[in-house]
Each structure stands twice: as structure tokens, then as C-alpha cells.
Structure 1
């Protein structure tokens, strides 16, 4: 099944409905967990991570998104507060479209609504697949479930050229494995040909 990334709406359409471009510095927060969903966000340049912190202050990274990807739009339709934080990993240029303008745009361009439904459905599909994989006692199945989920956000169908931008420790936290198990399993996966390890980068 072809992976569908987060929405990428033509920038000229966004600007025609009143979108503005905002510049953010590295480590600057775009929105915090608990904030009201007031905008549609699309990355023009840069990288953004979506995360949470538990009661002990430990970080849980949900995803890392890049150029031409969007985030936060589901909360607009649900009329809910954000359950996550969004933080820039580098200097970033983010297109922001106010909520009411966004809803007006979708009403005038119904094909965008269909694309969003496909995007949301694909996200749910891969999250379910990842949840199933994380229930496995097999470390390799856990890692493959996570890698498939992360890659599903990108239009990247080539084999072993998608860069997993997570540290070994972050992967361990996401999969419930010990970091030593992650390192050992990644080496085994490389030997079996399912990933490539290059200069400590994981290519899937």
C-alpha cells in the first residue's frame, strides 16, 4: 500500500484564503499541549517534532515532520485542544491558516476534504499496524512496525533511502525495548538486508 504523507496543500491556495508565513527559531515552540486549535500549519522550510512529556519529564516523540508536511489539522475538525507539543528542530518557516479560513477553504475545495480523509485513514491504519507490532515479543517486529509508521508520513517509496531521524534511545523509548536490544536488533536487520546503517544513520 502506498504511504500517504500529511497534507500538502498548494501554497497559493493557502495564501488566497489569508494564510501567513511565520518564521521560527530552532527549539522555538509553535503550540503547546493544551492550547486551542486555531490554525492549520504547513511547513514551508525546516523540521518540526511533535512530542509529549510524562509526569517525570521524560520526552515521548510522536513524529518528526519536514518540508511540505502539515500538522494539527485533525484538532480543527474535532474542536479539541492539542494533545501534543510542536517544536522546531531547526530554523523553520511555517504557513499558518486561521481555523475559520481553513474550514472555508475546505468547503470551497471539496477535493481537499477527500485527500484529508485518505490521509487520516492511512494514519489510523499505520498506527494500528504499529500497535500490533509493539504487542509482539519479537524486537525486530516491534522495530519494523515503528519504521513502517514513520515512513508512512513521507512520499518515499524507494528501498532503504528514508532516513529515520530518531536516536537509538528514542527508538527504545517508543518500542519499550532496552537501547542495547535496539542496537543489537538493528545490526541484525542490516545483516538481513531490511535496513542500511551508514554513519550511524538508519536508512529504511
Structure 2
């Protein structure tokens, strides 16, 4: 079921999947000339906050969480990247160290593009700079909205919003006719919502009792997206 007209998904979900799509052949070839692919196990760290930015990463398969860690060691997940998206490019553009960490949520295939190749392609391309500028502008809008609105929402509403966004993420890799299964640990879900595991378990149980969703192990299936949108308090914003 499409969220069009029901929920403003673009206010909550940004993606960089379009950055490399249909680049001129020579530009794409230059960008990928020294690309190295690597398979990552679930939970494996790709880069850490504060690490020297030596290149960007292209998610070819799987899902990656971007997160920050507070002084107590607790994660705050900022974003989940899908296959086709780029991560790590903010640090290269700013000529700074990685501002956050990234780790796989599931077994993934990640391609590494060296910093020199990315910057070289950026200089040669007439398309890539415009796409990056558009993507960065949209990401800023989404993050600003997330910070301001999440601060005013209850844990239940934040969980509902997060489940809606995750449903769209997992929908991208679900075959037509199949149920969309959100496959994420309760701790990662708690770190996205910004609460404790006990609250996540309590509200998931409440949503399940109301028929909004069903669970199979750690997998979550949304049965009533319209009701979930009502619970989020964001319908038709």
C-alpha cells in the first residue's frame, strides 16, 4: 500500500540512491575504477565516528545503520541506508573525519570508493555536483524536521513514525505480493526511537493487541498502516 496522501514519508526518509543512477558512462567508470567490494557480516562496523575519511561507501546489498554513541556508550541511530545508497561522503565533502559511525544491520555487500576517485569524479562531472547538492539539501531538511518534531512527540508516536519509515525501507526489497517484514532487533529499534528496550517491547505488545502489527521473532509485519499513521500523529501533515 502506498503512503501517498496518507503520510509525508519524504519529511522523514532521505536517500542517496539517485546520486549514481544514470551517470554518464565515462564518469561512472572513472568513479568506480578502483572500487573494492567487501562482504560484511551482520553487526560489522564499516567506519567509526572520528576515523579518518579515506573514501565513501556504496551499499550494493543489505542495510546499514548510521549512528552516534554517547558518553554512556548508548547508540542513537540516525538513519538506515538501503541498497543503492552512498554513505560516508559528507566527511569527504567537508574534508573532515567521519561525523558518525556505520555498521551493517544484516549481511551486506559494500563497495569502497577511494577519496581521490570520488573527488576526481566530482571535479570532472557536470551531473554529480548538482545531485549531491540536492541530496544534501534534502537531508538537512529531513534532519531538521526529525529533531524538532521528535522532541515534541511521545515515545509511542516516535515508535509509530519509525515503523512507518522502516516499512518503506524493507518494502524496497520485498517482492510484489509478499508481506513486508521489518527485520530489526529490539535494541536497534529502541536506538532509533530514542528510548529503552522495555518501552519498545511494551508498545509493540500494545500495537499487536490492537491488531496494528504481528511479530514473528524479531520480525515485524504491519497489518494496519492507516491505524499506525493515526498513532504517529503525522497523517496528512
Cα displacement string for residues 68-99 of structure 1 (whole angstroms, at most 9, x for unaligned residues): 11101111111110122223344433222222
Structure-2 residue corresponding to 1:38: 54
| Stretches of structure 1 lacking an aligned partner (at least 5 in a row) | none
| Stretches of structure 2 lacking an aligned partner (at least 5 in a row) | 1-7, 223-237
Distance 1:90 1:165, change over 3 A: closer
- For residue 20 of structure 1, the aligned residue among 28, 35, 41 is 35
CA distance in 2, matches of 1:176, 1:55: 15
CA distance in 2, matches of 1:126, 1:49: 16
Structure-2 residue corresponding to 1:171: 189
SS at match of 2:51: coil
CA distance in 2, matches of 1:178, 1:141: 15
Structure-1 residue corresponding to 2:233: none
Q: Which moves more between the two structures, 121-130 or 139-148?
A: 139-148
Report if aligned partners of 1:6, 1:153 keep a CA contact under 8 Å in 2.
Answer: no
CA distance in 1, matches of 2:171, 2:133: 17
Distance 1:21 1:130, change over 3 A: same
- For residue 202 of structure 1, the aligned residue among 212, 220, 229 is 220
Cα displacement string for residues 115-167 of structure 1 (whole angstroms, at most 9, x for unaligned residues): 222222222222222222322253333234444665787895x9xx7654443
**How many residues in Structure 1 have an aligned counterpart in Structure 2?**
201
SS at match of 2:57: strand
Deviation at residue 43 of structure 1 after TM alignment: 1.4
CA distance in 1, matches of 2:149, 2:209: 21
1:96 to 2:106 alignment: no
- For residue 130 of structure 2, the aligned residue among 99, 114, 118 is 114
CA distance in 1, matches of 2:188, 2:92: 29
Distance 1:203 1:63, change over 3 A: farther
What TM-score do the two structures reach when normalised by structure 2? 0.65
SS at match of 2:127: helix
